[in-house]
Amino acid sequence: MELIFEKSCPGRRASTIPKSDVPEVSVEEVIDKHLLRGDVDLPEVGEIDLVRHYTALSRRNFGVDVGFYPLGSCTMKYNPKINEDVARLAGFTFLHPYSPTEFSQGNLQIIYELQRYLSEIFGMAEFTMQPAAGAHGELAGIMLVKKYFDKKGEKRSKILIPDAAHGTNPASGAHCGYQAVTVSSNSEGGVDIGHLRELMTEDVAGLMLTNPNTLGLFERNIEEVAEIIHAKGGFLYCDGANANAFMGKTRPGDLGFDVIQLNLHKTFSTPHGCGGPGSGPVGVVKRLVPYLPIPRIMKVDNRYKWNYDCPDSIGRVKAFYGNFNVMVKAYAYLRTLGPEGLKKTSDIAVLNANYIKERLKSFYDLPFDRICMHECVFSGRRQVKESGVHTSDIAKRLLDYGFHPPTIYFPLIVPEAIMIEPGETENKETLDAFCDAMISIAKEAKKTPDLVKSAPFTTPVKRLDEVTAARKPDVCWYQK
């Protein structure tokens, strides 16, 4: 495909501007000279060439509307377009976030009711909708824990993180001044109870636990874990990034969790990826409610208003009141599905992951062969040992079959990890086509390993030297 500069022809324009009826002014007269860098060397093309060029580029983009996106731990699923349409209604998009509350009652009602829905679904006393995304929600959740201990005059210095946790967990703890201490996994992929008992002291603020974890496995000993943490006065924090595995089926609050952050942009109907927008609401048990960010929304005499009179609050954690358009999509998603729909969503997400697990486990190593939740984690160790084909080679070869690769080399406790999350929106035909491709690649790795090691062949950019590309990127700028 040609560069736009290669299409350039002197004198061509994409638009024609009428002759100005005011005197011309030199650019140098209105812009500081140090800001001018000479000729910007823009291509000269007609409108139709410009439109066709960028339309052709857009067709090279891969997204969930184009094909299967099995990124594990990321929930890259298709979401109903009606929710996008609802979020674009003028009453939502044109209202300034600092409009008087008397002009914003409908919008405030959505925030208030969404908080109540989430509190019921996840068994929490209250939610805040302010945090911008998952990691931001994590940070806000640990800030609440820290404020609680500060208020009590307790100076706890550590936070426990399982070795299969999301990488943002230790970062959130460290940002709040805690030392992150790693808890080992047991042979089943859950928390090592013995190691947890050894580490849990009165100097520990709590445990940040993803459940189900990044191995796609539910913590079988969750009640015992909660008891160990609470016995020393600590908090059990739930990373709710994987909530699409259990929503409507079980409530973290009932399992002993004290704090949970959600990813509305993953679980509740907003396209995930490309940097946003996101939403990471945080739910807490009753004793942490006083520390929630301000302002907090209240309903008084069937009217909604903001409450700033919260002296123990950690303060505001985001400008305005959170990413409102994402809240609208989540609200529409919840109202559309209802309780039974949420349960079915979780059922299908778990069913799809287990279907893939069963179809592929004869061809790839399965470190933890037990019923998984929303995602399954394989290892490419067998391929490495047999023919020197690595997980990265398998991922690149999958591009030739028309599929976006799954997450690879995570979680770190699984060597040559291949983490697959199908989500709940894919049909059996798509799952079968993906599994067929993965099985075909496993066979190729045995018979023609050099082929797999040289992939991809069908993409605009072929095999790269990744080390050189990272250290010495070749950024080509077309020169006339």
User: Using an 8 Å Cβ cutoff, are 256 and 231 in contact?
Assistant: no
What is the separation, in whole angstroms, between the first and last Cα of the chain? 18
**The pLDDT of residue 37 is above 80:** no
Confidence category of residue 275, pLDDT binned at 50, 70, 90:
low
Sheet holding 179-183, edge to edge: 126-128, 282-284, 259-262, 235-240, 204-210, 158-162, 179-183
How many structural domains is the chain composed of?
3
Q: Alpha carbon 456 to chain centroid distance?
A: 27
More confident residue, 357 or 166: 357
Contact (CB, 8 A) for 327 and 279: yes
User: What mean pLDDT do residues 21-38 have?
Assistant: 79
Question: Domain check: are 151 and 122 in the same one?
Answer: yes
Say which CATH number the domain at 451 has.
3.90.1150.10
CA distance 402 to 62: 10
Residue 274 predicted with pLDDT over 50? yes
Residues 52 and 198 placed together within one structural domain of the fold: no
Q: Is 80 exceeded by the pLDDT of residue 208? A: yes
Are 327 and 433 part of one and the same domain?
Answer: no
Q: What is the CATH number of the domain that holds 197?
A: 3.40.640.10
332 plus 350 within the same structural domain: no
Does 250 fall in a domain?
Answer: yes
Averaged pLDDT, 425-430: 96
Residue 70 lies in a domain: no
Average pLDDT over residues 204-215: 96
pLDDT at 470: 85
Report if residue 282 sits inside a domain. Answer: yes
Same domain for 244 and 364?
no
Same domain, 331 and 353: no
Same structural domain, 329 and 352: no
72 within a domain of the structure (yes/no): no
Summarize pLDDT for 331-375 with one digit per residue, the tens: 999 999 999 999 999 999 999 999 999 999 999 999 999 999 999
Domain that holds residue 8: 4-58
Both 323 and 368 in a single domain? no
Q: Is residue 379 part of a domain?
A: yes
Q: Are residues 385 and 350 in the same domain?
A: yes
Considering 337, 360, 393, which residue would you say is the last residue of a domain?
A: 337
Of 319, 337, 355, the one marking the end of a domain is 337
Q: Are 181 and 319 in a shared domain?
A: yes
Q: Would you say residue 76 lies in a domain?
A: no
Environment class of 475 (CB within 10 Å of its CB; exposed 0-12, middle 13-18, buried 19+): exposed
Q: Are residues 292 and 352 in the same domain?
A: no
Residue 242 falls in which region: left (phi positive, over 0), alpha (psi -120 to 50) or beta: alpha
Q: Residue 63 above 90 pLDDT?
A: no
pTM: 0.90
Confidence of residue 59 (pLDDT cuts 50, 70, 90): confident
Q: Strands 417-420, 407-408: parallel, antiparallel or unpaired by DSSP?
A: antiparallel
In a domain, 476, yes or no: no
Q: Which of 272, 302, 337 is the last residue of a domain?
A: 337
**Is the same domain home to 134 and 161?**
yes
